């Protein structure tokens, strides 16, 4: 019964994300703007404007986590560097959590050739330092530690409009996503573990046009995870697809990551490249702090839940 209640609550929370204007006609813009000709599509914007969801392992977890990343994105005419922060805050251990992801600072210099390609009005004025978007997500566990079924977690997310569209590095429009995160240990031998993680869902982002008010489409991904003692190696392929009414809206990432798991502080290094509609080569390094619980959270006993289902 608890599983069905969780699914019902989750469906209520993301039902609004699927409402849309179905018109596929091109139209004018909401109001005159110096950058009125820019097309809001992931393949034409900065590396963090409309990113693909990261693949999770299907588990909400029980600890506070604070992560700081430094990412370097390389593209001829638009090298970009950013610092972003991530916070995971469990509400009910192993069942429900809130997370935030903030592109705190982004530094770049876009050449005039890139600005023309993006249909921007502003000219190259040297290196820019801006603040990016703040994203929120709600996580809920549906299945955990089942004998046959994979771990299953629901994710609902919202992108705010903090980032400016002036240089084409953010959109200044909201986005929504709803997805299921899956994961299952397939091989466990002594200190070695092989796990497969997956992502399937829906992504919606608003445009700057009158008759195509938003773009949307399915999002999916698959990740192979290998653990040996305290080391973790992952390789994943993930992406989403839009209507293609404006094009450049089918980003696909290939990501490889090496991580060192420790008791208090993990570190990781990551390489990301685009199979389609992501013109950057990205190198990312970061640290994750596992913070002690300072609130008296409840914890859900999933063995009892699975036994009763």
Q: Could you tell me the residue ranges of all domains in the chain?
A: 2-14+40-308
> Highest mean pLDDT range out of 2-6, 187-191, 203-207?
187-191
Per-residue pLDDT reduced to its tens digit, 63-78 = 899 999 999 999 999 9
Residue 63 or residue 57, greater confidence = 57
Question: How far apart are alpha carbons 264 and 309 in whole angstroms?
Answer: 35
Check residue 294 and give its pLDDT.
52
* Closest CA relative to residue 198, chosen from 297, 37, 55: 55
Q: What is the mean pLDDT of the chain?
A: 85
* Closest CA relative to residue 94, chosen from 135, 137, 139: 139
Per-residue pLDDT reduced to its tens digit, 224-262 = 999 999 999 999 999 999 876 677 899 999 999 999 998
Q: 2-14+40-308 has which CATH code?
A: 2.40.160.40
Check residue 189 and give its pLDDT.
96
Residue range 250-275: mean pLDDT, rounded = 95
Per-residue pLDDT reduced to its tens digit, 17-34 = 444 443 344 433 344 455
Return the exposure string of 103-136: e unless at least 16 CB atoms fall within 10 Å of the residue's CB, then b: beebebebeeebbeebebeeebeeebebebbbbe
Cβ-based neighbours of 65, under 8 Å, separated by 6 or more: 86, 87, 88, 288, 289, 290, 291
Check residue 34 and give its pLDDT.
59
CA distances to 45, 113, 160, 182, 269 from 107, in Å: 14, 18, 19, 35, 20
Q: What is the percent of the chain where pLDDT is above 70?
A: 81
- 61: its two tokens: 């977890």
Per-residue pLDDT reduced to its tens digit, 147-174 = 899 999 999 999 998 988 888 999 988 9
Q: What is the percent of the chain where pLDDT is above 90?
A: 63
Question: How far apart are alpha carbons 250 and 41 in whole angstroms?
Answer: 9
- 307: its two tokens: 């036994």
């Amino acid at each position: 019964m608890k599983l069905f209640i969780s699914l019902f609550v989750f469906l209520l929370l993301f039902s609004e994300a699927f409402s849309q204007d179905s018109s596929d006609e091109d139209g004018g813009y909401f109001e005159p703007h110096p950058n009125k000709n820019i097309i809001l599509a992931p393949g034409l914007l900065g590396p963090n404007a409309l990113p693909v969801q990261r693949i999770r392992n299907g588990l909400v977890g029980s600890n506070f986590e604070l992560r700081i990343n430094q990412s370097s994105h390389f593209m001829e005419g638009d090298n970009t560097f950013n610092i972003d922060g991530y916070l995971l805050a469990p509400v009910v251990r192993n069942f429900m959590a809130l997370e935030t992801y903030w592109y705190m600072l982004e530094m770049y210099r876009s050449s005039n050739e890139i600005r023309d390609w993006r249909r921007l009005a502003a000219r190259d004025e040297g290196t820019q330092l801006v603040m990016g978007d703040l994203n929120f997500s709600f996580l809920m566990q549906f299945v955990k530690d089942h004998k046959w079924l994979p771990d299953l977690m629901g994710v609902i997310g919202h992108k705010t409009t903090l980032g400016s569209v002036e240089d084409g590095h953010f959109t200044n429009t909201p986005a929504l996503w709803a997805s299921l995160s899956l994961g299952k240990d397939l091989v466990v031998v002594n200190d070695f573990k092989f796990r497969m993680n997956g992502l399937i869902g829906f992504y919606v982002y608003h445009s700057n046009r009158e008759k195509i008010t938003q773009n949307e489409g399915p999002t999916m991904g698959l990740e192979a995870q290998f653990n040996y003692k305290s080391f973790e190696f992952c390789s994943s392929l993930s992406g989403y697809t839009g209507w293609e009414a404006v094009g450049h809206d089918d980003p696909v990432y290939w990501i490889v990551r090496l991580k060192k798991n420790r008791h208090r502080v993990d570190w990781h290094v990551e390489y990301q490249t685009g199979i389609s509609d992501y013109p950057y080569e990205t190198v990312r390094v970061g640290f994750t702090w596992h913070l002690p619980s300072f609130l008296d959270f409840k914890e859900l006993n999933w063995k009892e839940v699975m036994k009763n289902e």
